[in-house]
Structure 1
Amino acid sequence: MTQTEQTGQAEQAESRPRLGRKRDHTRDPEILDAALDVLAETGYDGMTIDLVAARAKAGKATLYRRWSSKADLVLDAVACMKGSDLDLDSLPDTGTLRGDLVAMVRPPSIRDSERKLKVMTGIVSMIARNPELAAAAHEALVEPRAAVNRVFFQRAIDRGEVRADLDVEKLCMVGPAMVAYRSLMLRIPVDREFLIANIDEIILPAAGLRAA
């Protein structure tokens, strides 16, 4: 091999990207959960990588290796929230629309909704400027509960309990809209009594039914 060929091979070897240490993603769920907690407490503007790292008990370098900016971290954290929602195949089936809706009003569900509302409040300032975050927020915070309500209303239609021409999409949003207004605008905690009243006094009458 000539000296020129040896030099060429050496230059090629140097130009190849060097493999760094393999990134460890096992702590991602903890970090994303910590990011959501901080986001719910401080809002997007008050949130910092330092605060998230401290909450997750992780080094800042670990976060920056995985997410290049706060916006990227928030986007991933919000998108991952939908992973905790119920499987649509395992929803309660009581035989009535009211029974199904009421069966979803339980402490874990209420706590989950409250947390999601706080996260939504935290990212409001960012949503208008970031269409990707707005889409992720809709998928993670709004769509899961709407999907549950669609199942319940479709069951009621199939049973002949309500009219087939109901505006299901609109009715699916009534409950979440009432909860959001109470929590975000009035700053009043959401409790079981409030959620049951929404079902009996607003959602069922809108569907042409009367509560028992």
Structure 2
Amino acid sequence: MTQTDLDETKPKLGRKRDHTRDSEILDSTLEVLAETGYDGMTIDMVAARAKAGKATLYRRWSSKAELVLDAVACLKASEVDLDALPDTGTLRGDLIAMIKAPTIRDADRKLKVMAGIVSMIARSPEMAAAAHAALVEPRASANRVIFRRAIERGEIDADCDVERLCMIGPAMAAYRVLMLGRPVDREFLIGNIDGVILPAAGLPRASS
């Protein structure tokens, strides 16, 4: 734990913990984290954003690190329902059907949170695991279902590298947001599908 984390640590108070505002506080944590990054974030900032007293936060979380871990973990609540994935009959159709405005907004938010915790991921195995579970794995799981359907239909070869195919789209989106500072929109995502993902799966390059 860094000196910053130690500075943020307070003894737990004796009053009974009130969990009724947890969701609002965790959401405020994610907002501040995306704006300032982990190193720039303070408990004071989160308390002000959530309109809560610092004592409320410290009764629930003993340190900034603990608060951020819980906030990132709660992002799993927005993961994709694998039983309700689109099934259009083609790989391209399924991938494009996954591109919806709420999905794009959710992905953009997750990428900004990921940018905010990069420094912490490098020094905390717990944060790295939480980030993978909440920010990477949900979409990868959905992609696995879609690509395996394509294999079952005989649309793509059974020996294609599904794991690699699953990560192409998320990796390109992350690079665009984190490195280029540009938004991920529908046009960009469809361009990736037609120009990169389908050819990587052994299908002809599509014209979007």
1:40 alignment partner, one of 11, 29, 34: 34
Partner of 1:55 in structure 2? 49
User: Are positions 1:136 and 2:130 aligned together?
Assistant: yes
> Do the aligned partners of 2:74 and 2:134 also contact (CA within 8 Å) in 1?
yes
Partner of 1:146 in structure 2? 140
Shift of 1:22: 3.2
Cα offsets for 1:178-208 (capped at 9, x unmatched): 1111111111111111100000000001111
Q: TM-score, normalised by structure 1?
A: 0.89
User: Are positions 1:69 and 2:60 aligned together?
Assistant: no
Query: Please, which runs of 5 or more residues in structure 1 have no aligned partner?
Result: 1-19
Query: Please, which runs of 5 or more residues in structure 2 have no aligned partner?
Result: 1-13
User: Are positions 1:192 and 2:176 aligned together?
Assistant: no
Shift of 1:21: 4.5
Partner of 2:174 in structure 1? 180
2:72 alignment partner, one of 59, 78, 100: 78
Partner of 2:200 in structure 1? 206
- Percent sequence identity is 79
SS of 2:158's equivalent in the other structure is coil
Shift of 1:145: 0.6
- The one-letter code of the counterpart of 2:71 is A
Partner of 2:110 in structure 1? 116
Answer with 1 or 2: which has the greater Rg.
1
**How many residues are aligned here?**
193
Superposed CA RMSD: 1.0
Structure 1 CA distance, aligned partners of 2:83 and 2:143?
Answer: 13
Structure 1 CA distance, aligned partners of 2:80 and 2:183?
Answer: 23
Structure 1 CA distance, aligned partners of 2:171 and 2:121?
Answer: 18
Partner of 1:17 in structure 2? none
Structure 1 CA distance, aligned partners of 2:155 and 2:181?
Answer: 36
Shift of 1:117: 0.7
Cα offsets for 1:118-155 (capped at 9, x unmatched): 10000001111101000000010011110010000011
- The one-letter code of the counterpart of 2:91 is L
Partner of 2:8 in structure 1? none
Shift of 1:111: 0.8
